[in-house]
Structure 1
Amino acid sequence: MPAEETETQMKNSINQKLIEAGEKERLKTLLKERLADSDWHDRLKDQCRQVIKEKGAENITVDDLVTEITPRGRALVPDSVKKELLQKIKAFLAEQANL
C-alpha cells in the first residue's frame, strides 16, 4: 500500500475517533476561543480588505475571496495555538491507546 494512502487512512481513522468521542467539537471550541483571544480576526479582515482592494469589489465573488484567503488564514493562526491543539490531539490519542 502506498505511503500516501496509508497516511490518508490514518488521518481518517483519527478524525473518526475524534468525532465519536466528541473531542473534535471540543477542539473546535478551543480553537475559536484562542483565535478570539489573538489578533487573528483583525489580521484576516485586513487580508480580505487587501484582496478586495487589489482585485476590485466588482471583480471578486465571495467564493473567490474564500479560496484566496483560506491559505492566508491558516498561515495567520499563531504557532502557540497550533502547538496547543496538537498537544491536545496527541494526549487524546495516547489516552485512546491506553483504553
Structure 2
Amino acid sequence: MPDPHPRRPLRSAATVELVSLIVLLTNLATVHLPAVASLAGPLHGCAYLFTIGAVARDPQRTGRSVILACLPGIGGLLALHRLTHTGPLTVRAS
C-alpha cells in the first residue's frame, strides 16, 4: 500500500531546518549561548542536508525545486510548495 503522505519526511525536515535557523539567529542576536549554538547548529545542518536529498530524490523534482531546496532556511518549504502545487505539464489545444 503506497504511503498516503509521501512527502511527510521532507515537510518535517524543512520545518526543523527553518525553526533551527531561527533559533540560531535569535541566539546570535541576543544572549549567544554556546550550548544553544552547539545543539541547534548540527540539527540545522542535518535538516538542511536531508531536505536537499529528499527534494533531489522526489520523482516530480525539477531543477528549480532542487535549487530552491539549497536556499538555507526557507528553501525546503519553498521546494515542497513547488513539488506539491505543480502538477505535470499539460498542453492545451487552442
Which structure carries more helix by proportion? 1
- Is the shorter-chain TM-score for this pair beyond 0.5, marking a shared fold? no
* TM-score, normalising length: structure 1: 0.30
* TM-score, normalising length: structure 2: 0.32
Structure number with greater Rg is 1
